[in-house]
Structure 1
Amino acid sequence: MLAPGRFVSTHDPCETIADFSGEYALPPLELTVVMPCLNEERTVGICVEKALRTMADLGVLGEVVIADNGSTDRSVEVATEAGARVVLQSRKGYGSALQKGFEEARGKYVIMGDCDDSYDFTDLERYLVELRSGADLVMGNRLKGGIKPGAMPPLHRYFGNPVLSGFLNLLFRTGVGDCHCGMRGLRREAYEALGLHMPGMEFASEMVIKASRAKLKIREIPIVLSPDGRDRPPHLRSFRDGWRHLKLILMYSPSFLFLLPAILLMLFGLLAAPVALLAGYGTYETIFGPNFLIMAAFLAIAGAQLFFLGLIARLQAHRIDPVFASPRVDWLLRVFTLERGLIAGGLMTLAGLGMALPVVAGWISTGAVAQPALWISAGTVTVLGVQTMFGSFLVGVLELQIERSKQR
């Protein structure tokens, strides 16, 4: 058995390299295998030994890092005895543990996988071949490689994973068939460039989304998923973790979450008035009466609100995360200026007030609103104008922050 924390290769593990300062350092490693761990004493030793033996057989200079997330059993002791280097992560979560493991990794390449013995750590060579040939991210695909009986619940296999992977690909066009496979390999520099930070299971989706946005070279290899060797239920919670994945996908796509519904609502709301008038609007007996127009006004106002929320979300993503920076946002900032927004909003407000004046005059003189269609339309245009003016100010505040961040 290998000594705790030692790396393996066909070379002498105790070999050191002298730098020009006269100090000695460990030789650089080609591969680090990172495994998140929480109470896996039954299987962690098996996984560590498989990974170390495979690296030794391949002549790869590498190490196994166990990122322990607060185990209360003998996981740390078993992993250390098997030859792994154990690092501790106090912040709870699958993503948190993996981030700690990646931070501590010394290898040029990093392969991650669960230490429940569901993934085959004797299959490292195919990941290395792809990484050595230029891939930035190598994803395992369990759907193509095969899922053994009992390895994945039917709900996950036939609904959860296909739906979430399909939705993620619809929005981000990653081309990845199994977006939530837990065994994947990366170049360490590629990982560091992504700035991943999600603490839970949604870390898996975050990695794929950001890798796609960053135009990294992503490749897939078919792998086999086996039943895990645990004697307890898995840490994964179907609905809680499924919602976390879906929530992250939506939050990382403000155009789909905000702007698409905004455009549809505004189009319907703003086209409703001419449709109502052309349909002979004028009485409460027709379907295109005042109630229809009031509903359309609400939809148009809601659409405008969603539009500005989506614009703000897109600008914020552009500001705080380099992976989501886009030339289109820079173009938008040049076109959508505060001054233009104020002018457009001001003109809309004045137009709405102008439309309302004759209605108000008739209301004062007769005590009744003789033109409800014009009254509702005037109120809608006025509210949209006010929203546009103050929304433009808020966008202007974010634009100042973006310019400040560029100067740092």
Structure 2
Amino acid sequence: MDKIAVLIPCYNEEKTIKKVIDDTKKALPEAIIYVYNNNSSDRTAEIARAAGAVVRNEYMQGKGNVIRRMFREIEAQCYIMVDGDDTYPMESAPEMVQKVLEHNADMVVGDRLSSTYFTENKRPFHNFGNSLVRSSINKLFDCDVRDIMTGYRAFSYEFVKTFPVLSKGFEIETEMTIHAVSNNMQIENVVIEYRDRPEGSESKLNTYADGFKVIRTISRLYRDYKPLGFFSAMAVVLAFLAVFFIIPVFFEYWETGEVRRFPTLIVCGFTMIAALQSFFNGLTLQNMAINNRRVFEMQLNGLHRKKMSLITKINDGSDID
């Protein structure tokens, strides 16, 4: 088990990867640096290996797939995840590591939005999207995470080994945040100085396509982690529609004594039944979510014992299978 593992997912970052590795060595000389090459068509892997990093490959395209592979293969007390595009300062890494190893943090967020992001980033829709996602998640999940989509984070062993990676692409950061918030894990924020990509380095993000994926991910995770809130909202909408369209039918019946719009009456009745079903489905799924939380807490306890056993063996100089 490594004490500190630096994880760098890469796709065509030959212009910046050497600097990121060199900066990491200066900031965290005791860390093991892993570069995961995701089908790069340039010299990313060759340059990273020459710079002293451990280079591995993930052949399924997408950042989510790379992170799944990283988290599955690497064992460490503290993980630092950083992009290979040289937009994040490695000088902040020691503080992030300290919060994991000495302050019991499960996830440390490198907060760009509280410093230079909005002045350095030249893509206005990215700025708007980051603000929208941050406010949406903080409101829906009642938390205070200051940068939801940052690619610069630190994790505990327990977080990495319990995080179910479901996303394939850049929406993975949103998924990480909601997993930590919903499972009551300790989250810390560290303000970092963001800098835009150097000239000649191109972003892999698609503002609109990836933005829609992030919104869809938020909706899906809200349904999974907060089913009562999700299905209650659906029930309210359905009930409102049923009442709105049935009121004229009742007024007409009150005045004439006749029901002249039976199709409307029938549809409104079924819509109200759907609203009630949605609400009770939310109650059922909420109970299942609570039970899943109990299982998760037991899993966390087992992982913590495993980690402490590994650390003890390392300190004693014993062999680890």
- CA distance in 1 between counterparts of 2:200 and 2:287 reads 47
- CA distance in 2 between counterparts of 1:253 and 1:261 reads 13
In structure 1, the partner of 2:22 is 49
8 Å contact 1:116–1:230 — kept in the other structure?
no
Compare CA radii of gyration and give the structure with the larger one: 1
Letter in 2 for 1:47: V
Q: How many residues align?
A: 291
8 Å contact 1:261–1:303 — kept in the other structure?
yes
Are positions 1:265 and 2:265 aligned together?
A: no
- CA distance in 2 between counterparts of 1:261 and 1:315 reads 18
Change over 3 Å in CA distance of 1:237–1:114 after alignment to 2: same
1:89-104 residue pairs with structure 2 within 5 A? 89-104=58-73
Match of 2:275 among 303, 326, 330: 303
- CA distance in 2 between counterparts of 1:168 and 1:325 reads 24
1:7-406 residue pairs with structure 2 within 5 A? 28-56=1-29, 61-131=30-100, 132-147=102-117, 149-157=119-127, 159-229=128-198, 231-254=200-223, 255=227, 256-266=229-239, 269=242, 276-277=249-250, 281-283=254-256, 293-294=265-266, 296-297=268-269, 299-304=271-276, 306-307=278-279, 322=292
Change over 3 Å in CA distance of 1:290–1:283 after alignment to 2: farther
Task: Using the TM superposition, give the Cα deviation of residue 279 of structure 1 relative to its aligned residue in structure 2, in angstroms.
Answer: 7.0
Q: Secondary structure at the match of 1:109?
A: strand
8 Å contact 1:64–1:84 — kept in the other structure?
yes
Q: Give deviations 1:64-83, integer Å, cap 9, x for gaps.
A: 11111111110001001111
Structure 2-normalised TM-score?
A: 0.79
Structure 1-normalised TM-score?
A: 0.63
- CA distance in 2 between counterparts of 1:81 and 1:100 reads 22
Letter in 2 for 1:233: E
Task: Using the TM superposition, give the Cα deviation of residue 52 of structure 1 relative to its aligned residue in structure 2, in angstroms.
Answer: 1.1
Letter in 1 for 2:271: L
Letter in 2 for 1:48: I
Q: Give deviations 1:239-258, integer Å, cap 9, x for gaps.
A: 11111111111112223443
8 Å contact 2:14–2:44 — kept in the other structure?
yes
In structure 2, the partner of 1:393 is none
Change over 3 Å in CA distance of 1:126–1:276 after alignment to 2: same
8 Å contact 2:4–2:32 — kept in the other structure?
yes
- CA distance in 2 between counterparts of 1:75 and 1:111 reads 20
Change over 3 Å in CA distance of 1:41–1:284 after alignment to 2: farther
8 Å contact 1:265–1:303 — kept in the other structure?
yes
Task: Using the TM superposition, give the Cα deviation of residue 215 of structure 1 relative to its aligned residue in structure 2, in angstroms.
Answer: 0.9
Q: Give deviations 1:131-157, integer Å, cap 9, x for gaps.
A: 122111100111112227443511111
Change over 3 Å in CA distance of 1:149–1:268 after alignment to 2: closer
Change over 3 Å in CA distance of 1:274–1:38 after alignment to 2: closer
- CA distance in 1 between counterparts of 2:91 and 2:8 reads 14
Q: Give deviations 1:8-51, integer Å, cap 9, x for gaps.
A: xxxxxxxxxxxxxxxxxxxx532111111001000011101100
8 Å contact 2:246–2:264 — kept in the other structure?
no
Change over 3 Å in CA distance of 1:80–1:324 after alignment to 2: farther
8 Å contact 2:107–2:155 — kept in the other structure?
yes
Q: Secondary structure at the match of 2:160?
A: helix
8 Å contact 1:138–1:185 — kept in the other structure?
yes
* Structure 1 stretches lacking a partner, 5+ long: 1-27, 327-408
* Structure 2 stretches lacking a partner, 5+ long: 297-321
Letter in 2 for 1:242: G
Identity %: 25
- CA distance in 1 between counterparts of 2:73 and 2:199 reads 26
Change over 3 Å in CA distance of 1:148–1:289 after alignment to 2: closer
- CA distance in 1 between counterparts of 2:124 and 2:258 reads 53
Q: Which has the higher contact order (CA 8 A, sep 6+)?
A: 2
- CA distance in 1 between counterparts of 2:256 and 2:18 reads 79
RMSD over aligned Cα atoms: 3.2
Q: Secondary structure at the match of 1:226?
A: coil
Q: Give deviations 1:154-205, integer Å, cap 9, x for gaps.
A: 1111x21111121122222232021111101001222112223322111111
